[in-house]
């Protein structure tokens, strides 16, 4: 039995779908407050639904019983509810999940983290501590560290609005990023369950090419046939936001934006020799969005 934690999120639901397509028995951990339509979709895929919360250790113990592998995508960053913080969910909650998994005799844990960044912020600190705890747990681990998701960072939620022809760019927009699709991350997560190369491994993930944000804008301009209005957010402003933040979440988002401004290039050649995943390009994503 495979347990997916964070199953109602975009990445988590895609992982459940791929597990179902592969005929692998799957249990989906959902919160009592989860969108019922999303829960119904998981059930339609054949997933066994179990109610729980990373902040509730007994519910994690129950969810882990009879499970051989866990894929955890959960985070407080996009689906924050009352009581959710980086400390309670991304840090303490994920640590509790590792402990519950070990106590239940889980063999393998696949943790979706993110690429190491040169900026310190609470979310990165939490990820690194959970990674360390998982490595020391004695269970087989796979830590996937994808760089920036194109579906998140090239979306209206973060100022990249194709319909309006506007793009908010953090920093100069000249440093390259190996933008990756969350769908490809899901494929790597599934492949990690059976691929020996994933055993006790930390794997950095990026897309098929490194492109600067300004190069990305040009791709969308070409696909849409019209120019975009580009607004730059200077790094100095992002640093001020980070330093002035009174909550760990806005501080972490400012840190992520600073990391975006500095760029993040991931060489995928060696990884793709071990994991035959066909990576989606920004150009393909742009054609779908336009």
Question: Which residues of the chain form beta strands (DSSP E)?
Answer: 2-5, 26-30, 48-51, 69-72, 108-112, 140-146, 160-161, 166-170, 201-205, 229-233
**Tens-digit pLDDT profile for residues 225-242:** 999 999 999 999 999 999
* pLDDT value of position 53: 96
Q: Is 11 a residue whose pLDDT tops 90?
A: yes
Query: Can you tell me the mean pLDDT for 173-192?
Result: 98
* pLDDT value of position 76: 86
The tokens 């912020």 sit on which residue? 121
Which tokens sit at 202?
């930390």
Query: Can you tell me the mean pLDDT for 78-96?
Result: 87
Q: How confident is the model at residue 84 (pLDDT cuts 50, 70, 90)?
A: confident
Question: Which residues of 147-228 form beta strands (DSSP E)?
Answer: 160-161, 166-170, 201-205
Query: Can you tell me the mean pLDDT for 118-134?
Result: 97
**Tens-digit pLDDT profile for residues 31-73:** 998 999 999 999 999 999 999 999 999 999 999 999 999 999 9
Q: How many other β-carbons are positioned within 10 Å of the β-carbon of residue 177?
A: 27
| 40 neighbors 32 (Cβ within 8 angstroms) | no
Closest residue by Cα to residue 179 from 155, 217, 213: 213
Q: Is 81 a residue whose pLDDT tops 80?
A: no
Query: Can you tell me the mean pLDDT for 147-176?
Result: 97
Q: How confident is the model at residue 80 (pLDDT cuts 50, 70, 90)?
A: low
Q: How confident is the model at residue 128 (pLDDT cuts 50, 70, 90)?
A: very high
The tokens 């957010």 sit on which residue? 233
Q: How many other β-carbons are positioned within 10 Å of the β-carbon of residue 209?
A: 15
Q: How confident is the model at residue 77 (pLDDT cuts 50, 70, 90)?
A: confident
* pLDDT value of position 83: 77
* pLDDT value of position 195: 98
* β-strand partners of 108: 69, 140
Domains of the chain: 2-147+180-206+266-277 (3.40.50.720)
Q: What is the mean pLDDT of the chain?
A: 96
**Tens-digit pLDDT profile for residues 275-286:** 999 999 999 999
* Distance (Å, whole) CA 137 – CA 228: 49
* pLDDT value of position 231: 97
The CA–CA distances, whole Å, from 143 to 124, 134, 289 equal 14, 9, 30
């Amino acid at each position: 039995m495979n347990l997916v934690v964070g199953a109602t999120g975009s990445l988590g639901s895609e992982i459940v779908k791929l597990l179902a397509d592969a005929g692998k028995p799957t249990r989906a951990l959902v919160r009592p407050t989860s969108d019922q339509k999303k829960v119904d979709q998981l059930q339609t895929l054949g997933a066994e639904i179990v109610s729980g919360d990373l902040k509730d250790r007994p519910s994690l113990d129950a969810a882990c019983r009879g499970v051989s592998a866990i894929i955890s995508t959960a985070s407080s960053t996009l689906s924050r509810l009352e009581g959710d913080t980086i400390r309670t969910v991304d840090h303490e909650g994920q640590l509790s999940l590792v402990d519950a998994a070990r106590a239940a005799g889980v063999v393998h844990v696949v943790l979706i983290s993110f690429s190491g960044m040169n900026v310190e912020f609470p979310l990165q600190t939490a990820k690194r501590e959970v990674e360390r705890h998982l490595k020391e747990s004695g269970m087989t681990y796979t830590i996937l560290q994808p760089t920036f998701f194109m579906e998140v960072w090239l979306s209206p939620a973060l100022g990249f609005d194709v319909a309006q022809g506007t793009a908010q760019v953090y920093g100069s927009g000249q440093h390259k990023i190996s933008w990756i699709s969350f769908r490809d991350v899901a494929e790597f997560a599934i492949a990690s369950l059976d691929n020996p190369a994933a055993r006790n491994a930390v794997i950095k993930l990026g897309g098929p090419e490194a492109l600067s944000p300004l190069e990305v804008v040009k791709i969308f301009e070409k696909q849409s046939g019209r120019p975009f209005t580009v607004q730059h957010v200077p790094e100095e402003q992002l640093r001020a936001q980070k330093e002035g933040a009174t909550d760990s979440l806005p501080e972490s988002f400012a840190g992520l934006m600073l990391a975006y401004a500095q760029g993040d290039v991931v060489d995928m050649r060696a990884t793709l020799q071990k994991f035959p995943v066909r990576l989606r390009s920004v150009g393909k994503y742009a054609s779908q969005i336009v």
